[in-house]
């Protein structure tokens, strides 16, 4: 089956384009990879990290509205996001640069 990624709740054409850049063409592929692996691939192929983008993906794969997650669940998602971002986006930065980048003081080096 070749169901469009935009058929997944919360995911629209922009998300579909980002997934295409990462080699993820269908909703089935995305579901098989899961949220964490998909998001890591997106970061490795040029998507800038943003917690809401990750959060929307997780909620969409669960069939939930993007703003449904709160409290402890949201805190746990933030930990997962930070871990993915550290592996896929912040590679090569010193600890100081990574911290400054995380709080938005310096621009990420490419």
| pLDDT of 26 over the 90 cut | yes
Round the average pLDDT of the chain to a whole number and report it. 87
Our separate counts of H helices and E strands in the chain read 5, 0
Please report whether residue 38 resides in a domain: yes
**Helix (H, G, I), strand (E, B), or coil: what is residue 109?**
coil
Please report whether residue 108 resides in a domain: no
Count of CA atoms in the C-beta half-sphere (13 A) of 61 = 18
Question: pLDDT at position 89, please?
Answer: 79
Tokens representing 10? 């919360």
Q: Mean pLDDT across the stretch 74-86?
A: 94
Supply the range of the domain harboring residue 69.
5-102
Give the pLDDT confidence of 33-69 residue by residue, as tens digits.
999 999 999 998 989 999 999 999 999 999 999 999 8
Give the pLDDT confidence of 91-107 residue by residue, as tens digits.
665 556 656 655 655 55
Please report whether residue 27 resides in a domain: yes
Pick from 85, 99, 91, 29: nearest CA to 55: 85
Q: Mean pLDDT across the stretch 1-6?
A: 93
Please report whether residue 46 resides in a domain: yes
Question: pLDDT at position 107, please?
Answer: 53
Contact 55, 74 (CB under 8 A): yes
Tokens representing 35? 């949220």
Residues in CB range of 39: below 8 A, 6 or more apart: 53, 54, 57, 81, 84, 88
Please report whether residue 109 resides in a domain: no
Please report whether residue 78 resides in a domain: yes
Number of domains in the chain: 1
Please report whether residue 107 resides in a domain: no
CATH code, domain with 69: 1.10.150.20
pTM, rounded to two decimals: 0.79
């Amino acid at each position: 089956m070749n169901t469009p990624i935009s058929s997944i709740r919360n995911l629209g054409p922009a998300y579909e384009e980002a997934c295409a850049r990462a080699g993820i063409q269908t909703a089935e592929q995305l579901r098989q990879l899961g949220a964490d692996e998909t998001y890591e691939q997106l970061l490795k192929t040029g998507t800038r990290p943003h917690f809401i983008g990750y959060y929307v993906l997780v909620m969409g794969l669960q069939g939930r509205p993007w703003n449904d997650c709160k409290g402890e669940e949201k805190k746990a998602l933030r930990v997962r996001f930070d871990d993915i971002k550290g592996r896929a986006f912040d590679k090569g930065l010193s600890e100081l640069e990574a911290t400054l980048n995380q709080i938005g003081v310096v621009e990420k080096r490419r």
